[in-house]
């Protein structure tokens, strides 16, 4: 009698096919300019993406849909940061061209009546 090889199947075998590999989602930081210091985590269940720089701790959060990729969040962040920067700058009043200092020189001609 040949001995049959017992092949015991594991019930809870991990199916590697279902495992999704996380994409490389590291970008350069706008603020500290460190390469690949910004990471984006997308929570598909919550529909929220979180961007964070591990160097300067900049944070950004945005809503996502099923098409949103990490790079979308990153570009959104750039836009938001850019807009914020412009906003701060616009708070400071730029030098208006109308408020130019007009030369208010009195028409004083050399009328030195001496003597
Ligand atoms: Zn940073």
Q: Is the residue at 74 inside a domain?
A: yes
User: In CATH, what number is assigned to the domain containing residue 46?
Assistant: 2.20.25.190
Q: Is the residue at 32 inside a domain?
A: no
> How many domains in the chain?
1
pLDDT digits (tens, 9 = 90+) for 85-111: 888 877 666 555 555 556 666 666 666
Determine the average pLDDT of the residues in 16-33: 74
Q: Is the residue at 73 inside a domain?
A: yes
What confidence score (pLDDT) does residue 15 get? 52
Determine the average pLDDT of the residues in 65-82: 94
The CA 102 to ligand 1 mean position distance, Å, reads: 46
What pTM does this model have?
Answer: 0.58
Q: In terms of C-beta density within 10 A (0-12 exposed, 13-18 middle, 19 or more buried), how is residue 81 classed?
A: middle
The CA 27 to ligand 1 mean position distance, Å, reads: 10
The CA 113 to ligand 1 mean position distance, Å, reads: 72
Q: Is the residue at 13 inside a domain?
A: no
Q: Is the residue at 96 inside a domain?
A: no
> pLDDT grade, residue 2 (50/70/90)?
low
């Amino acid at each position: 009698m040949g001995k049959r090889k017992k092949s015991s199947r594991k019930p809870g075998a991990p199916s590697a096919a279902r495992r999704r590999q996380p994409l490389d989602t590291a970008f350069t930081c706008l603020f500290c300019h460190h390469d690949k210091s910004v990471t984006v985590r997308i929570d598909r269940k919550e529909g929220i993406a979180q961007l964070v720089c591990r160097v300067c701790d900049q944070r950004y959060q945005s809503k996502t849909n099923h098409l949103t990729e990490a790079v979308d969040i990153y570009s959104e962040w750039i836009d938001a940061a850019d807009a914020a920067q412009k906003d701060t700058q616009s708070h400071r009043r730029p030098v208006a061209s109308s408020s130019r200092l007009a030369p208010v020189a009195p028409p004083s001609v050399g009328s030195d009546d001496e003597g």
